[in-house]
Structure 1
Amino acid sequence: MSSSSSPKALGFWMCSALVVGNMIGSGVFMLPASLAPYGWNGVLGWIVTIAGGLCLAFVFARLSAALPREGGPYAYTQEAFGRTAGFVVAWAYWISLWVGNAAIATGAVSYLSVLVPAIAKTPGLHALVTLGLIWGLIGVNCLGARLAGEVQVVTTVLKLLPLAAVLGLSARLLGRDGAAAVTAPLDTAQLGGPGLVAASALTLWALLGLESATVPADKVKDPARTIPRATLFGAAFTGVVYLLVCSAVVLLSPPDALKASNAPMAEFIGRFWGSGAAMAVAAFAAISAFGALNGWVLLQGEMPYAMARGGVFPAFLAKSSSRGTPVRAHLVSGLFLTALVGINYAKSMADLFTFIALLATTASLFTYLACALAALKLQKDGQVHGSRPLTVVAILAGLYAVFTLFGAGKEAVMWGLVLLAAGLPVHLLMRRAARA
């Protein structure tokens, strides 16, 4: 088999690019609009989310070092609590993948609409462009993991350029005008409370993906060493970038203008550097979301593939192509994603992004909570090296997941539970088949 189709195609930098690329997607470019109503609570929300995200990254790093298996969260939970718990986590995580991909693709098309205004003005066109983008990347991932990894490295580098531009402009404004440049009033009486909880739930959407390198473990070189390093490096780097960039846009922009924007970061740049700079940022933002979507599409195929190989999903999803890629799993995930975009095509791009982002976050939180509990159980059973830091961090990660579930809101949690319940018939059928 050629190196281009080798199953061990992902090294440290490709895994790091997978983590950073999956985390820096549409979130950093779209969230300023969603966070605008929360003002300074948005900044505090980032701090809470980064702290919780690093706790989760540490848990995943320790689990992947002890159990470098494909499937990531599903494998850890099944090892700790059995097949039923493993199925619930795998189902929840898979839902978060294809639901989240709908939000990422929507973010990419939202910024494309700055370059091609007809996308926003023509009813239903944004949904068609979104689906075209999704299926194009499914095709790339079906051609092999290495090609997807190379696309990820290139787009990860490109997506950092507009973020650097925002940081440069923000530093210039603060250096010139000082505190007068800040448009969001600081009201200490409003800090904390429901605003902080809601902002923390929204900001977690941007950190989803910190576990990305754990999923395709069978395609990673030296996974016991590579995956933990890539996970911790990617989460820490991305968290700092998010805190600086998103906080700058929220605090230095008029809140009313930001709330209604389909491309808040491009609008921020355009206010000071003109429409040409705004168009350039919009182009790079679309590339950023494109790169993130590429990485997430890789995972939305690998997860059901790993589940099927473990006997949790129907066996026909466990088949791979001559290139070693799970084509059938990619196609099934793509069909669910297509249905979600089609059902919600009538919503505006901003509203669609916020709703789907919260839904994907809710599904991921069930997975994160289960993995934190799995780390404690496996440590107690001696399958993960025991240590006080792991115990403390795993408890904090679990508490953070519960805290953020409250912030996601009733609607997102309700729909998350409905989607989880939809997996029950699949699980019962698979158990019946196993007994037969």
Structure 2
Amino acid sequence: MSAKKLGIWSSTSLVVGNMIGAGVFLMPAALASFGSVSLLGWVFSAIGSFFLAKVFGNLSALLPQSTGGPYAYTRHGLGNFAGFLVAWGYWIAVACANAAITISFVGALSTFFPVLASSALAAVITGLCSIWFLTWLNTRGITASGNMQVITTVLKLLPLFVIAIGGLFFIRIQNFHPFNTSGGSVFGAITATASITMFSFVGIECATIPAASVNNPGKTIGRATMLGLLIATLVYILGSVSIMGIIPATVLQHSVTPYADAAVIMFGSNARYYTSAGVAIAAFGALNGWTLIQGQVPFAIAKDKLFPPIFGKLNKKGVPYAGMLISSSMVSLFMTMNYSRGLVEQFKFLLLLSTLSVLIPYLFSAAAYVIIRCRQKQLHQGSLVSAIALGAGAFTYSLWAIAGAGQSAVYWGFILLMAGIPLYVWIVNSRKGDKEGNSNDLNNG
């Protein structure tokens, strides 16, 4: 049975692969205008993410068979309605994110196939082929998607570690000066850069979502989450140190391919192609991992009868294929919108709208963790205090992340969550109707 489940390396690859997408290749340029103080932003984000990773690891040990991760934990701690809102928003957010990842993948391929940059039709066809190939692969079983995740994660980490570690030998100390070029205080610069970098840690929860398909989930998920966080943090910080040390900040902040520019300085002009290949693999691997997730989340809600039953249908491989097909259809629609001139702004709006929906599950999971631990009356006082402290740390960090998303993201994310309420009311009323109908049938019998 264990052979058909995700092990420690597949689970770790799911965490690392989903956290490290194509966006990390642009991050050094986004931080360059702040100066080398931005490296502290990475450290603060990593510390906050540690609290979250620890919470998710502990929750996976408390509720080892709870498929759905943040949804399942929220439902256990805060009830059906809160759980539904988390899952509803998260599902839509993942569909939007997968569309954005697909666009990044096609963009990276345009280095090798220039037609993808000039022809919207070619770009759309390539994007659709990648979406539906990975959908097909994920319907082949959890081990097929897990193996693909391991392969793509190793391949994407190779160029990142080559730049991150090899770049240390090309550093020029003067490129780290001045320390703070933000124009404000050091604390303000750290807060601003941490608000940017914390989005690179989104996906830390991914090993918890297919819990029922993980071998020995009580131990494996926690270890995979912490190991994934460690690997991603090393890549992020060492990569930023190397690139900031190789490329002067005045040049770096205008770069659209900072890793490629650093690779050219280190290895020559042909290195740009290797880095572009790394971006493509990173995006492809992230799309594979999030495709797995986009089927598991609605399946978990449907299994608890809080979502339409079609999302709970499994194929012979035990994969929630119906939900995956519906989700991939949404991803295809969102991705195509980006290549239609009249719909580009709507696509950007959807991404903004979904930002909060990725962060809310962290907040609810932290609150649920404290509640679940408080219900365990056998806990010693010291254990309870440490559990509350851990939950409070994760909750505070999540709240800070939500604030960092910006006013517009919070507003429209709230609208998205509220849009799910009519569906929840309809499902609950349908369940009541079914129960009443069954009761009448028994009475008549």
TM-score under structure 1 length normalisation: 0.89
Question: Bigger shift: 143-152 or 162-171?
Answer: 162-171
Distance 1:398 1:98, change over 3 A: same
Aligned to 1:293: 287
Q: How do 1:335-346 residues align onto structure 2 when only pairs under 5 Å count?
A: 335-345=329-339
Partner of 1:423: 420
Aligned counterparts of 2:378 and 2:258: Cα–Cα separation in 1: 44
Q: 2:35, 2:181 within 8 Å by CA — same for their partners in 1? A: no
Aligned 8 A contact 2:68 2:210 in 1:
yes
Q: 1:273 aligns with which of 249, 267, 274?
A: 267
Asked if 1:29 is matched to 2:25, the reply is: yes
Cα distance in 1, alignment partners of residues 222 and 416 from structure 2: 30
Corresponding letter in the other structure for 1:223: P
Q: Is the 8 A contact 1:167 1:248 kept in 2?
A: yes
Letter paired with 1:309? K
- Quote the residue 2:154 is aligned against: 157
Report the more deviating stretch, 231-240 or 293-302. 231-240
Q: Which residue is equivalent to 2:117?
A: 120
- Name the CA shift for 1:83/1:200 in 2 (closer, same or farther; >3 Å): same
**Equivalent of residue 105 in structure 2, options 108, 114, 122:** 108
Secondary structure (helix, strand or coil) at the match of 1:114 reads: coil
2:164–2:235 Cα contact (<8 Å) kept: no
Per the TM alignment, residue 434 of structure 1 is displaced from its structure 2 partner at its CA by: 1.1
Residue among 407, 411, 414 paired with 1:410: 407
1:187 CA drift (Å): 3.7
Instruction: Please tell me whether residue 396 in structure 1 is matched to residue 401 in structure 2.
Output: no
1:123 to partner: Cα distance? 4.1
Distance in 2 between the 1:405 and 1:325 partners?
33
Q: Give the count of matched residue pairs.
A: 427
Distance 1:253 1:412 in 2: 33
**How far, CA to CA, are the matches of 1:145 and 1:256 in structure 2?**
46
Corresponding position of 1:143? 140
Q: Give the match's secondary structure for 2:110.
A: helix
1:43 corresponds in structure 2 to: 39
| Uncovered stretches (5+) of structure 2, i.e. residues with no partner | 434-445
Cα distance between partner residues in 2 of 1:372 and 1:422: 24
Rg larger for: 2
Match of 2:54 in 1: 58
Matches within 5 A, 1:294-333: 294-333=288-327
Cα displacement string for residues 11-39 of structure 1 (whole angstroms, at most 9, x for unaligned residues): 11111111112112223223234334433
Could you report, residue by residue, the CA deviation over 1:119-148 in whole angstroms, capped at 9, with x for unpaired residues? 223346444433332222111101111100
Distance 2:220 2:166 in 1: 36
Structure 1 residues 267 and 113: alpha-carbon distance in aligned structure 2, compared to 1, 3 A threshold: farther
The one-letter amino acid paired with 1:234 is G
Match of 1:19 in 2: 15
Going from structure 1 to structure 2, the CA distance change for 1:64 and 1:108 (only over 3 Å counts) comes to same
Q: Does 1:213 align with 2:207?
A: yes
Bigger drift between 22-31 and 221-230 goes to 22-31
Distance 1:101 1:121 in 2: 22
TM score, norm. by length of structure 2: 0.88
User: Shift of the alpha carbon at 1:341?
Assistant: 2.0
Give the drift of 1:262. 4.6
Is contact 2:34–2:180 with CA below 8 Å preserved after alignment?
A: no
- 1:224-235 residue pairs with structure 2 within 5 A? 224-235=218-229
What is the Cα deviation at residue 335 of structure 1? 2.0
Contact 1:197 1:404 in 2 (8 A): no
Give 1:98 shift: 1.7
Task: Encode CA deviations 1:153-176: one digit per residue, 9 max, x unaligned.
Answer: 1111111111122124421222xx
Deviation of residue 7 (structure 1)? Answer: 8.7
Conserved? CA contact 2:33–2:181, under 8 Å: no
Q: Corresponding residue for 2:131?
A: 134
CA distance in 2, matches of 1:357, 1:418: 13
C-alpha root-mean-square deviation of aligned residues, in Å? 2.8
Higher mean alpha-carbon deviation, 210-219 vs 257-266, is at 257-266
Do the aligned residues in 1 keep the contact of 2:170 with 2:266 (CA within 8 Å)?
Answer: no
- In the TM superposition, residue 213 of structure 1 has moved relative to its aligned partner by 1.0
Q: Partner of 1:401: helix, strand, or coil?
A: helix
Mean Cα displacement is larger for which, 89-98 or 191-200? 191-200
Match runs of 1:341-420 below 5 Å = 341-345=335-339, 360-382=354-376, 386-420=383-417
How far is 1:345 from its partner? 2.7
Give the counterpart letter for 2:99 in structure 1: A
- State yes or no: 1:253 paired with 2:221: no
Give the match for residue 10 of structure 1.
Answer: 6
Deviation digits for residues 243-287 of structure 1 (CA, Å, limit 9, x no counterpart): 111343345435565556553322331244333111011112211
Following superposition, the deviation at residue 403 of structure 1 comes to 1.2
How many angstroms does 1:333 deviate by? 1.1
Shift of 1:380: 1.0
Q: Indicate the SS of the match to 2:21.
A: coil
Contact 2:48 2:397 survives alignment (8 Å): yes
Q: Deviations over 1:95-116 (max 9, x none)?
A: 2322222232232222222222
Tell me the distance in 1 between the aligned counterparts of 2:415 and 2:37: 30
> Distance in 1 between the 2:404 and 2:354 partners?
13
Partners in 1 of 2:156 and 2:92 — Cα distance?
Answer: 26
In 2, Cα distance between equivalents of 1:131 and 1:262: 25
CA drift at 1:217: 0.9
Does the CA-based 8 Å contact 1:266-1:281 persist in structure 2? Answer: yes
- Percent identical residues: 36
Displacement of 1:412:
2.1
Query: 2:353·2:412 contact (CA, 8 Å) conserved in 1?
Result: yes
Counterpart Cα distance in 2 of 1:168 and 1:241: 9
SS in 2 for 1:190: coil
Query: Which piece of structure 1 moves more, 85-94 or 105-114?
Result: 105-114
